Structure 1
Amino acid sequence: MTTVRDQSSAPAVRYAALLTALVLAVAGYQINATMLAPALPDVIRRLHTDSDAAGLAQTLFFLFAAIGQVTLGRLSDYVGRRRMLLATLAVAVLGEAACVFAPTIEIFIVGRILQGVSAAAFTLAYLTLHETLSPRKFGGAMGIITAVNGGIAGVDTLIGGSVADSVGFRGIFLITLVITLVAIVVVYFRVPATEVSTGRMDWKGAALLGIGLTGVLLALNQGGSWGWTSPATLVLLVGGVLALVLFAVAERSARDAIIDTSVLASRRGWPLLLCTVFTLAGVFGMLNFTIPLLTQAEGEGYGLSATMSALLFLVPASALGAVAAPLAGHFGPRIGWRRSVLVGSVGTAAAFVPLVLFPQSSWITFAALAVLGVTYTGYLLTSLNGLAVDSAPADKPGSLPGLNGACFGIGASLGIAVSASVVTAVSGDGAPTFDALHAALWSSGGFVALALVAALLIKTPDDQNG
């Protein structure tokens, strides 16, 4: 695919306009991911459901985020980044409207699925920046876009908690609906069209991948309530694994494969992708499911309101991440993206230690989450994205970033699925207990430890050639 890079002499206003448009585009997805976290108890209460169903809604949101990043990122090669970006934002609008008016948890889940698809905005934003900016500007711009991935400096979670306390979760989706509509307008006028490739979309591969991921992750999410040996769980799990095997076989002979299997098999590929999956599983299971329940539970937790929960335990990580991410984008190319990933992985694992060991202390939890804002939200997320772009093969620049973007959604949905299953299994049919929430934190910590091991196994193209 032919790309056009902006030169350093290009007018700054063009760079600023493009970056503003892409920030709004990814914010359209990200605020749907972060603003709801402090409102989960309100969703459970108003839709007369339970934590298992609320966890399913979150799992499917991030699951379809993964599917959207792979399929829509690849589809954009043939229809154009800008056109695909506008389409994903339009789908998000439909999902937000569904959640505003949802009478039942089932309609709410459908809305969350539609919103999740718009996660492709991140992959599309990275590819657009890579194709239109000089390498000098790309690192800094990517850091700014990645900063949004941790939330809008914590303001989104704070607003989410306040809205949940005052008018309920529906108000959150009304706000996100307006923001996404604004993003559509700005993207239409400010994001340039890029060259497109010749070829055909690998719809067979996309279908097998979607079926496989859905089966496996739904089995993990529902296994605790259905029973791990129940027919429904086993059918989903076995069917999902079989679809993924067929997908791997089909991709080897596909002319325009949705995934580059040679990159996937190399140590610049699979350890990076595993690191992303395990990191997101650990942090999202903890931050977007367990922490809101722990901080708001009466008796078994801290007993805070949704607003105070967001202010004390979600805002610091997002705010510090918004500062650290651009710095990571600046230093990553200078010290090496692989080394940056290692630094972020070690810091994230270290921050999890007191969080897992002393969850009964609200102050320790607060401090640990603040540190994670720097090590995870800011540094590690930016470094993972930077390494994916830097390690991609020259003739297929979008292959590894698209896969890595999908792993964000896979990891997030996996982490929430496991955390929800652990809480349900330990609590039984009643409200979540402290022991159940503590067990969920241990499961998240296990994922982060696996992420650190994967980071140590990563090799860059230069490492492998040397």
Structure 2
Amino acid sequence: MTTVGDPSPASAPPVRSTALLTALVLAVAGYQINATMLAPALPNVIDSLETTSGAGGLAQTLFFLFSAIGQVTLARLSDHVGRRRMLQVTLVIALVGELICVLAPNIELFIIGRSLQGVSAATFTLAYLTLHESLSPQKFGRSLGIITAVNGGIAGVDTIIGGSVADSVGFRGIFLITALITVIALVAVQFWVPAGGTSAGRMDWTGAALLGVGLTGILLALNEGSSWGWSSVPTLALLVGGVLALALFAVAQRRDRNAIIDTSVLASRAGWPLLLTTIFTLAGVFGMLNFTIPLLTQNSGAGYGLSATMSALLYLTPASALGVIAAPLVGHFGPRIGWHRSVLIGAVGTAAALVPLVLAPQSPAITFVALAALGITYTGYMLTALTGLAVALAPEDKPGSLPGLNGACFGIGASLGIAVAASAVTAASGGGPPTASAFHAALWTAGGFVALALVTALLIKTPQSEKN
């Protein structure tokens, strides 16, 4: 194994890069498998817990919502307590959530378990920060591609296993598998990840609370508005309360020296266009892949009528498998052709791949080809390039600021996309079983988000290092 010095404390022992990368892959896999493995089992969750597609969508929405909150708050907290300790905390939280879902007798407890699992998305930002602090620039790019490849799933094997487990023993078996992986990751992190330096100051808990309340209110309103009524008191209360909390959050961040979000980064063209591109991209693709496609392909009336296993094998696995191949290559060549250019290539490719799917969702063959193409354009190019560009555009005195925000936007975008897709299906179905037109409406929302991502990608500032 090769070793590189850890630039944090001068007296720290050298880091074994292969062991470090292995531990971080296991850590992020614990979160990512919880996201991808459940997708083909979503209909089984709905049937087993005797609930609705709207409630199933809410569980997914809150999973990704809390992933956004976790990435901002826990990544910032790691500055004070150390990267390794924060990784361990997030994995323990995920383990508790997995055990709750194994035992959940109803959708309410299942939603609580999924929300706790979502918090562990902070492992991604913590992994990026740990790699950036511990590895040489050359190794960082390659390691970034490998970690990002996991963000699209484990070569599609996880979705196949998820579908097979759902068909044979039910969704609870999935969480027993992910719990075992989480335990292994905890051991690997303890032995192979450096503690990391700590900084002075205090954690901005007020800002974290306001951010959590604001995002939760808005996304819950979007998810439940079609069933509650868009003008109903609960929907309006959540929307108004969420917006007010975010407004107070913005004010508090300007006044707090220990703010969890650097507002100067948000205001620049190095910040807001990149963050919006991430949100819109994830909203379009995740809403489609993790909600609409599993329901469409397994619905016997308005869809393809496949089993969970066949749905995963034909429509979720190709994108994941191709992404595992493409992402490390993008990580290798990204610094050479430029992260900004890589983002533009990914944005154009993702939009092009989604067009036939939106126009002809009734064709299983077209759906298969479109989703396979997304494995290269989205999982390979966009996820890797967006993360690499966030690192390249971050201020030199605050290297973790933009990557942390961008990581949070992954969760915000995913939860937003699922909330909107679930709302579209519920509204177009008129309260009954999902219809073909309902699935088509949800796919159109995905196409709209991806189109917005293409526009905002053109507005991102090119890093100074790529202008020459």
Q: Return the TM-score normalized by structure 1.
A: 0.97
Would you say how many aligned residue pairs link Structure 1 and Structure 2? 462
* 3-state secondary structure, aligned to 1:457: coil
2:408 is the alignment partner of 1:400: no
* 3-state secondary structure, aligned to 2:458: helix
Counterpart residue number, 1:452: 454
- Seen in structure 2, the aligned counterparts of structure 1 residues 241 and 463 have a Cα distance that, compared at 3 Å, is farther
Deviation at 1:293, TM superposition (A): 0.6
Counterpart residue number, 2:329: 327
Counterpart mapping for 1:306-455 below 5 A: 306-455=308-457
* 3-state secondary structure, aligned to 2:234: helix
Counterpart residue number, 1:43: 45
Distance in 1 (CA, whole Å) between partners of 2:108 and 2:8 is 45
Structure 1 residue corresponding to 2:112, chosen from 107, 110, 113: 110
Counterpart mapping for 1:181-220 below 5 A: 181-220=183-222
Deviation at 1:194, TM superposition (A): 1.0
Distance in 1 (CA, whole Å) between partners of 2:128 and 2:430 is 43
Distance in 2 (CA, whole Å) between partners of 1:448 and 1:86 is 35
Structure 1 residue corresponding to 2:7, chosen from 4, 19, 22: 4
Counterpart mapping for 1:12-161 below 5 A: 14-161=16-163
Aligned residues of 1:344 and 1:380 also touching (Cα < 8 A): yes
Distance in 2 (CA, whole Å) between partners of 1:253 and 1:416 is 34
CA deviation string 1:37-68 (max 9, x = no partner):
00011001000000000000000000000000
Give the letter aligned to residue 338 of structure 2. Answer: G
Deviation at 1:460, TM superposition (A): 3.0
Counterpart residue number, 1:249: 251
Aligned residues of 2:144 and 2:331 also touching (Cα < 8 A): yes
* 3-state secondary structure, aligned to 2:16: helix
Deviation at 1:192, TM superposition (A): 0.9
- % identical equivalent positions: 77
Give the letter aligned to residue 306 of structure 1. Answer: A
Distance in 2 (CA, whole Å) between partners of 1:345 and 1:114 is 31
Aligned residues of 2:340 and 2:463 also touching (Cα < 8 A): no
Query: What is the alpha-carbon root mean square deviation over aligned residues?
Result: 1.7
Distance in 2 (CA, whole Å) between partners of 1:444 and 1:86 is 35
Give the letter aligned to residue 4 of structure 1. Answer: P
Deviation at 1:379, TM superposition (A): 1.0
* 3-state secondary structure, aligned to 1:138: helix
Distance in 2 (CA, whole Å) between partners of 1:195 and 1:3 is 10
Give the letter aligned to residue 99 of structure 1. Answer: C
Aligned residues of 1:325 and 1:379 also touching (Cα < 8 A): yes
CA deviation string 1:400-422 (max 9, x = no partner):
00000000000000000000000
Aligned residues of 2:74 and 2:122 also touching (Cα < 8 A): yes
Deviation at 1:3, TM superposition (A): 6.7
Distance in 2 (CA, whole Å) between partners of 1:186 and 1:92 is 16
Q: Which runs of 5+ in 1 are unaligned?
A: none
Distance in 1 (CA, whole Å) between partners of 2:434 and 2:26 is 36
* 3-state secondary structure, aligned to 1:314: helix
- Seen in structure 2, the aligned counterparts of structure 1 residues 261 and 464 have a Cα distance that, compared at 3 Å, is farther
Distance in 2 (CA, whole Å) between partners of 1:289 and 1:149 is 17
Counterpart residue number, 1:226: 228
Give the letter aligned to residue 202 of structure 2. Answer: R
- Seen in structure 2, the aligned counterparts of structure 1 residues 464 and 348 have a Cα distance that, compared at 3 Å, is closer
Counterpart residue number, 2:285: 283
Distance in 1 (CA, whole Å) between partners of 2:42 and 2:202 is 41
Give the letter aligned to residue 150 of structure 1. Answer: G
Q: Which runs of 5+ in 2 are unaligned?
A: none
Give the letter aligned to residue 7 of structure 2. Answer: V
CA deviation string 1:313-349 (max 9, x = no partner):
0000000000000001011100110100000000000
Distance in 2 (CA, whole Å) between partners of 1:384 and 1:340 is 8
Aligned residues of 1:3 and 1:195 also touching (Cα < 8 A): no
Deviation at 1:299, TM superposition (A): 2.3
Deviation at 1:386, TM superposition (A): 0.3
